[in-house]
């Protein structure tokens, strides 16, 4: 059984929990699937949205507050353009593209992320590491909960916003419309208040929905309830734990990336040292993807396999990052659960073993030895 410190210092065990081959493999597969899906969506949208690639690049690589403000304000700008007939079609297409891409990525990570969360839950709580097959079987059984838990709050947000829009339509009625709008505007303000609460809970609380399902074996609504409850019951501790996890995660991820980069540097340069001048042609192919003059088929195969190894190493680094992120959120969930509900960190849901029917007791055999002795006498 793993020993816990029973406080936020348990976050520093996230590196050891995340550094597990099973979770890293699942994270690597999820990263590869994400890259393939994003690339496919950009190719599909390129003919009608020339700025799709630039938008996705900005969304993935924005590194300053101004960039994030511009990128995150674009969907709001498109929603406003839905009211303008001239830009309505393009704005709707862009929103549909982003929503569809987000659903596909959520579908992917509901499976891989749920499996990682299940392994992390058992590893952190009981120091047990189930096989990938056991984790994926658990995720498949709870896939609906993993998938719908981040979406359900957004559905309620859409419903409240739609109610406000309908009130605005009522305000168009000549004469009585503005009066009705004024009388019920307080409800619109209340609706907006609930929208803000739901958005804050979804943005920050969604980090704990998958760990909730993985540790409690529960459904989407219980995951949402626990995530919102723990967030609003311990907001400052949640922020502190997330900041510690981010800082520690950045340090360990940079360490893993540097380790992988040094590994590949040593491997490629020592092999090139032994290969001599012929390695220059392979190096040109690796850098530019263009075969040099006199490039032979065996050298082409060597360059392709070196690229495969590079891609695999990069994928493993991304897989570690995904493993750490989900493992850290699982640990933070355990910390918040202990503070709010008083639940011990070692408690985790374990499916009950199937009960086998008890065999009926065997009937006693009659004792015939006494009768045989009497006959012999």
CA atoms 164, 167, 169, 171: torsion sign: negative
Give the model's pLDDT for residue 79.
57
126 contacts: CB under 8 Å, gap ≥ 6: 1, 2, 346, 348
Here the tokens at position 102 are 């987000």
**Residue where the block lists tokens 């000549």:** 174
Radius of gyration of the chain (CA): 29
Give the model's pLDDT for residue 322.
94
Give pTM, 2 decimals: 0.80
Q: What is the mean pLDDT of residues 298-303?
A: 72
The answer to whether position 270 is within a domain reads yes
The mean pLDDT value of the chain amounts to 80
The answer to whether position 366 is within a domain reads no
Nearest CA to 318 among 25, 84, 93, 4? 25
The answer to whether position 376 is within a domain reads no
The answer to whether position 275 is within a domain reads yes
Give the Å distances, CA to CA, from 14 to 89, 136, 205, 313, 357: 46, 21, 19, 21, 42
Q: CA angle, 141 as apex, 136 and 147 as ends, to 5°?
A: 90
CA atoms within 13 A on the CB side of 146: 26
Here the tokens at position 300 are 């082409």
Q: How many domains does the chain have?
A: 1
* 37-41, 78-82, 91-95, 303-307: the lowest-pLDDT one: 78-82
What percent of the chain stands above pLDDT 90? 43
The answer to whether position 13 is within a domain reads yes
The better pLDDT of the pair 234, 287 is held by 234
Q: Which DSSP letter does residue 13 get?
A: G
The answer to whether position 222 is within a domain reads yes
**Contact predicate 121/214, CB 8 Å:** yes
Give the model's pLDDT for residue 203.
87
Domain membership of residue 87 as a residue range: 8-341
Q: Give the pLDDT band of residue 15 (cuts 50, 70, 90).
A: very high
The better pLDDT of the pair 28, 271 is held by 28
Give the model's pLDDT for residue 313.
93
Give the model's pLDDT for residue 356.
42
Q: What is the mean pLDDT of residues 285-304?
A: 66
The answer to whether position 351 is within a domain reads no
**Contact predicate 329/208, CB 8 Å:** yes
**Helix, strand, coil shares of the chain as percentages rounded to 5?**
80, 0, 20
Give the model's pLDDT for residue 269.
81
């Amino acid at each position: 059984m793993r020993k816990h410190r029973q406080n936020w210092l348990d976050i520093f065990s996230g590196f050891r929990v995340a550094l597990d081959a099973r979770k890293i493999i699942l994270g690597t597969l999820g990263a590869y699937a994400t890259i393939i899906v994003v690339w496919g969506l950009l190719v599909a949208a390129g003919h009608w949205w020339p700025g799709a690639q630039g938008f996705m690049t900005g969304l993935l690589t924005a590194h300053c507050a101004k960039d994030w403000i511009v990128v995150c304000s674009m969907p709001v700008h498109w929603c406003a353009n839905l009211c303008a007939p001239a830009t309505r079609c393009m704005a709707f297409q862009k929103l549909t593209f982003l929503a569809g891409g987000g659903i596909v990525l959520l579908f992917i990570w509901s499976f891989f992320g749920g499996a990682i969360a299940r392994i992390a839950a058992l590893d952190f709580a009981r120091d047990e590491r189930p096989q990938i097959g056991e984790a994926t079987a658990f995720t498949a059984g709870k896939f609906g909960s993993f998938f719908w838990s981040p979406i359900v709050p957004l559905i309620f947000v859409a419903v409240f916003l739609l109610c406000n829009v309908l009130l605005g339509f009522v305000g168009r009625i000549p004469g009585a419309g503005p009066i009705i709008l004024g009388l019920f505007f307080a409800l619109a303000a209340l609706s907006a208040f609930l929208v803000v609460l739901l958005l804050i809970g979804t943005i920050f609380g969604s980090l704990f929905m998958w760990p909730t399902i993985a540790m409690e074996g529960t459904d989407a609504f219980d995951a949402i309830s626990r995530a919102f409850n723990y967030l609003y019951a311990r907001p400052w501790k949640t922020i502190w734990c997330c900041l510690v996890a981010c800082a520690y995660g950045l340090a360990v991820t940079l360490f893993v990336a540097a380790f992988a980069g040094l590994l590949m540097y040593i491997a490629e340069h020592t092999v090139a040292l032994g290969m001599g001048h012929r390695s220059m042609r392979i190096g040109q192919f690796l850098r530019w993807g263009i075969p040099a003059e006199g490039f032979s088929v065996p050298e082409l195969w060597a360059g392709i396999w070196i690229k495969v190894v590079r891609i695999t190493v990069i994928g493993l680094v991304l897989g570690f990052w995904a493993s750490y992120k989900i493992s850290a959120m699982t640990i933070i969930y355990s910390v918040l659960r202990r503070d709010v509900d008083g639940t011990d960190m070692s408690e985790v849901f374990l499916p009950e073993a199937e009960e086998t029917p008890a065999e009926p007791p065997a009937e006693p055999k009659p004792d015939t030895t006494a009768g045989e002795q009497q006959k012999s006498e």
